[in-house]
Structure 1
């Protein structure tokens, strides 16, 4: 395996997470009281870069923030964890992205994202980061930034022999040539079901009743490999080396806040793939990171170091 300067380069979003705890979520036209507002550094891209660094990986972020207090918060937090920020661009006159998050008593969350500066990330930013991307073993992508930037980054990584990991969240249709570069495509079971047409879903099964069937069906749509996360129920992976999807268990932990757990999982998956693990082994490690992240409040503040991971499920 060729040694590269960076384990993982993340091309993606950076948001300030504005978090309120609630006893129950309001219905239409209803007002409920919540906890004091907490502001945390977040965004799927920034989260993944921090999670890689916490686990001992060499991480860099390509993204955009605004010239405001939230942008300063994000830059300081990323720098404190050792993420390379040479390609994190400040965008004058545009606010930093914000995620408004409500967390229920069971730890589950609901999120509304205002993209702000993230929406200005484009192919020109990727071109400016071409040397950084070429030096990465894995390039991690998500859909909280515009699709043209994601496509440009995927093609740039593939063109220099890097591995492309796409966490297709929030779910949206993507071109076939982008799907074909994904190794793996990472989604949760609900996102997987939404991505498949009715006639492509496993016959006789509800959207999320058969994760292995969903993984096999999704693999037939074009990605090189597929990872479907199932929360506390673990992970299903499938790739060319396995005739059937492989189920990976997750450690059992008490969930306090699920915010950022998927990002911790994807980051750990990318890191272990960068270090040469086979996909099922990388997923086993990643499941431990995802489980660790639900044990504390916030996104980046909950991300574990390597010695804080729970035992395998």
Structure 2
């Protein structure tokens, strides 16, 4: 394994309440579901756990409530060796909760009550500056307030960190936020929203990626679900096919992918190797139920074979 730098993940932490059903309900429909289980989730927390389980040195900046859900999340982070020095607690607001329905085809629909996640402020990040200073890679998503995202991205760029933005859930982003990003990792839907180009295949992904590059993003990886991933920068373009597996639950597959990718970036891996590693980790995760519960270990990824 290559020498690795520290990875800072800034983002959300939720508790997922999951029901497995035959099909996803339509408006007004009540379904008698199958199994119910509770799992720890939230894009930021999922990615931090993925980094930790896949061998990365990680710290997590987020905000939770002082309730049972928040306490359990904190205990889990500590179990995986995640630095929680800057995991803040809000005594007035409950921890984030997600209600997830998963059908027999592993498709899902998700409703989130963000709770304390939306109380993570730029002021909290000012108090977390030592974590930004120590990081080589900073990974952030969009389940926290946009002004907080903008603050940490700006601080990371000013300190010459490798800032990776996973633009999910999809929403519009400013030109200033995009300019100078080390890497952006949208899926087809997110890429279309941000560039105005419908993405369905490698050709349309490249068209969208060129728009990101023109806006000052250094590297672009557009994920195409079960098809694979496309990398673009000024020097190279790559398409890496996904591994074919029987999916059980796609929840957090993108988070596992992003965490895995950042682990290999911190280890100075070549892009192809990093993407293959991320594809393997995501492929394993969709064969398991739950969010953080589906994250594979480094050993499992390295031994993964079809």
Q: TM-score, normalised by structure 2?
A: 0.94
Equivalent in the alignment of 2:280: 288
CA distance in 1, matches of 2:195, 2:55: 36
Question: Is the 1:122–1:149 Cα contact (8 Å) retained in structure 2?
Answer: yes
Deviations 1:17-45 (A, max 9, x none): 11111101111111111124311111000
Give the Cα–Cα distance (whole angstroms) in 1 for the partners of residues 234 and 258 of structure 2: 20
Of 247, 250, 256 in structure 1, the residue corresponding to residue 242 of structure 2 is 250
Q: 1:213 aligns with which of 207, 217, 239?
A: 207
Q: Tell me, yes or no, if structure 1 residue 241 matches structure 2 residue 217.
A: no
Which structure 1 residue ranges, 5 or more long, are not aligned? none
Q: Which runs of 4+ in 1 moved over 4 A?
A: 310-313
- The answer for the alignment partner of 2:299 in structure 1 is 307
Partner of 2:264: 272
Return the alpha-carbon distance in structure 2 between the equivalents of residues 45 and 33 of structure 1.
31
Match of 1:119? Answer: 118
Deviations 1:186-207 (A, max 9, x none): 111121112123xxx3xxxx54
The answer to which of 6-15 and 280-289 deviates more is 280-289
- Cα distance change on mapping 1:229 and 1:312 into 2, 3 Å: farther
Deviates more, 1:55-64 or 1:224-233: 224-233
1:138 matched to 2:130: no
Which residue in 2 is equivalent to 1:99?
98
Task: Specify every segment of 5 or more residues in structure 2 that has no aligned partner in the other structure, as ranges.
Answer: none
Cα deviation for residue 180 of structure 1 reads 1.2
Partner deviation per Cα, 1:116-153 (whole Å, 9 max, x = no partner): 00000111111111011110110000000001111111
Cα distance between partner residues in 2 of 1:158 and 1:211:
26
Matched residue, 2:27: 28
Higher relative contact order, chain-length normalized (CA < 8 Å, sep 6+): 2
Which string of whole-angstrom CA distances, capped at 9 and with x for unpartnered residues, describes residues 32-72 of structure 1?
Answer: 11124311111000111110010111111000001111111
Q: Distance in 2 between matches of 1:231 and 1:113?
A: 22
Instruction: Report Cα offsets for 1:163-200 as digits up to 9, x if no partner.
Output: 00000001111121210132211111121112123xxx
Partner in structure 2 of residue 66 of structure 1? 65
- Conservation of the 8 A alpha-carbon contact between 2:173 and 2:194: no
Q: Deviations over 1:193-245 (max 9, x none)?
A: 12123xxx3xxxx5424333333333333311111111221100101221xx3
SS of aligned partner of 2:186:
strand
Q: Is the 8 A contact 1:193 1:208 kept in 2?
A: no
Shift of 1:311: 4.3
Change (3 A) 1:80 1:235: same
Q: What secondary structure is seen at the aligned counterpart in 2 of 1:93?
A: coil
Taking only aligned residues, the RMSD between alpha carbons, in angstroms, comes to 1.7
